[in-house]
Amino acid sequence: MVSLKIFPSDIVADMNGLKEQVTKSLEGKATIFKFDEDPVAFGLVALVAHILMPEEASGVMDEVERRLKSINGISQVEVLVSRRIA
């Protein structure tokens, strides 16, 4: 499981719409376990996505980051933690 902090490029009124876009962009590559919201500053809220991905496949993390960064309205993606789950 990888936890990523996703920073929107502007204040997002519809976080559900952003969550939907993130989920759709990762179809076929990784699965969303859950989302959290993290207030950053001045009304800006970052989305924390906890993502399940196969560890034996190579290049999955790079592909996930690339797909997320290509979404219109996302300015930055930061890896918070990567861990194995049983």
Question: In CATH, what number is assigned to the domain containing residue 61?
Answer: 3.30.70.60
Range(s) of the domain holding residue 31: 2-75
Retrieve residue 10's tokens. 């502007």
User: What's the pLDDT score for residue 84?
Assistant: 86
80: in domain: no
- Tens digit of each residue's pLDDT (9 = 90 or more) over 64-77: 999 999 999 899 99
- Give residue 11's identity as a one-letter amino acid code: I
- Does residue 13 form part of some domain? yes
pLDDT at 11 exceeding the cut of 90: no
Cβ atoms of 42 and 50 within 8 Å: the answer is no
32 beta partners: 51
The pLDDT-based confidence of 81 (bands split at 50, 70, 90) is very high
Total structural domains within the chain: 1
Give domain status of residue 49, yes or no.
Answer: yes
Look at residue 85 and tell me if it is in a domain.
Answer: no
Asked if residue 57 belongs to a domain, the reply is yes
β strands within the chain, DSSP E: 2-8, 31-41, 44-52, 74-82
- What does residue 56 show for φ and ψ, rounded to 5 degrees? -80, -15
Return d(Cα 35, Cα 26) in angstroms, integer.
14
Distance CA 50, CA 72 (A): 20
The whole-chain average pLDDT of the chain stands at: 91
Q: Looking at residue 20, what is its pLDDT?
A: 95
Q: pLDDT digits over 26-54, tens only?
A: 998 999 999 999 998 888 899 999 999 88
- pLDDT value at position 66? 94
